[in-house]
Amino acid sequence: MDPQFANPLIHATQKAFESLVQLEIAFDEPIVVASMPEEFDVSGIIGLSGGIIGLFAISFPTETAEKIVSTFAGSTIGISDREDFVDAVGELANIIMRSGISKFGCGDITISSPSVVLGNHHCIQTPSDNTIIMVPCHTSAGDFSIELSIRSVNSPSASACLTPVAAAAER
Amino acid sequence: MKVLIVDDSKTMRSIHRSVIGKIGSADIEEACDGQDALSKASAFQPDLILLDRNMPNMDGYTFLKIYRSKGNSTPIIMITSEACKTSIVEAIKAGVNDYVVKPFSPEKLSERIKRILEKQEAA
């Protein structure tokens, strides 16, 4: 799968950070990786079904997550403020995924309520035959990444989904 | 000004509260889903409602239909990540006054609120 398939989420992440978090963000090129990254401490996860089956995750080191959600929420939120912290990380993941969803061109995609995983260097395990696309992200608050783990793209026009042209043109 | 904020995310309610606070003094009530909003709107009688679309228990669209069916004309701004035309048209037909797509800048939401309030004052 072409890693550029993740372009709608890159665009959505950029929009979310520039408007709601008010942080400039830079991205490395999306890359296909063998497994989900294990260097992060906080992940907001959205399950995907329908047009795409898999999951979307946004993963941070703790300190970066604290800085970003505090800017997002407009008040200082640390990981110890568990309920507020989890709500903010989940909402950020939710906004990015919902914003990017229509740009995949894969028909109806149903998304789950966000889940948030906390734990130093945690591992999000997805089926071994999933394709995982990771996009390293850089902000003044720290580095983090967005990941798309895809089991299948269920669409009559699946080939169109895998063509990055439309999404890339939008950036 | 009395504003009812309806969103299942505490973070988003806090962001909306901050935007409203910068516009002027307001009496603010919060609800975490459509069901909660129906009971709070009835008691609180808001001048403006900021309404999320996707919420558990009762979503914003269902709230909107029920609220309008009871003859309530309070302006409602729907705030949602759903940017597709079908969703927007559906919400406008159901009686929403404005539609703000997430992610939005606080300035954008502020402008939309002011516009609604100005219309209300002029009416």
The answer, for A88 touching chain B at a CB cutoff of 8 Å, is yes
Tell me which of A119 and B85 has the higher pLDDT.
A119
Using pLDDT thresholds of 50, 70 and 90, give the confidence band for residue A171: very low
CA distances from A151 to A51, A116, A124, A126, A128 (A): 11, 21, 14, 9, 9
Query: Is the pLDDT confidence value at A45 over 70?
Result: yes
Q: Which residues of A touch B54 (CB under 8 A)?
A: 98
ipTM of the prediction: 0.88
CA distance A15 to A23: 10
Percent of chain A with pLDDT over 70: 89
Nearest to B11 among A12, A73, A99 (CB): A73
pLDDT at res. A116: 98
Give the residue numbers spanning the domain of B100.
2-122
* Single-letter residue type at A14: Q
Query: Is the pLDDT confidence value at A165 over 80?
Result: no
Query: Is the pLDDT confidence value at A106 over 80?
Result: no
Task: Provide the residue-wise pLDDT of chain B in tens; the chain has 123 residues.
Answer: 999 999 999 999 999 999 999 998 899 999 999 999 999 999 999 999 999 999 999 999 999 999 999 999 999 999 988 777 888 899 999 999 999 999 999 999 999 999 998 988 887
Question: What mean pLDDT is predicted for residues A148-162?
Answer: 67
Total of domains in chain B = 1
The answer, for A22 touching chain B at a CB cutoff of 8 Å, is yes
Second-level CATH architecture of A3-17+38-164: 3-Layer(aba) Sandwich (3.40)
The domain that holds B67 is classified in CATH as 3.40.50.2300
Using pLDDT thresholds of 50, 70 and 90, give the confidence band for residue A155: low
Answer whether B103 sits within 8 Å of A15, measured CB to CB.
yes
Question: For residue range A47-56, what is the model confidence (pLDDT) as tens digits?
Answer: 999 888 999 9
Q: Which of B81, B101, B107, B111 to mutate to test the interface with A (most CBs of A within 10 A)?
A: B81
Percent of chain A with pLDDT over 90: 75
Answer whether A74 sits within 8 Å of B15, measured CB to CB.
yes
Residue spans of the domains in chain A: they are 3-17+38-164
Residue B45's CB is within 10 A of a number of other CB atoms, namely 12
Residues forming a β-bridge with A133: A32, A148
Q: Which residues of B touch A102 (CB under 8 A)?
A: 83-84
A97, HSE (Cβ side, Cα atoms, 13 Å): 28
Nearest to B103 among A16, A69, A87 (CB): A16
Answer whether B14 sits within 8 Å of A74, measured CB to CB.
yes
Q: Which stretches of B24-102 are DSSP H helices?
A: 34-44, 60-69, 85-93
Q: What is the DSSP letter of A51?
A: S
pLDDT at res. A70: 96
Answer whether A113 sits within 8 Å of B56, measured CB to CB.
yes
Q: Which of A14, A98, A116 to mutate to test the interface with B (most CBs of B within 10 A)?
A: A98
Question: For residue range A76-93, what is the model confidence (pLDDT) as tens digits?
Answer: 999 999 999 999 999 999
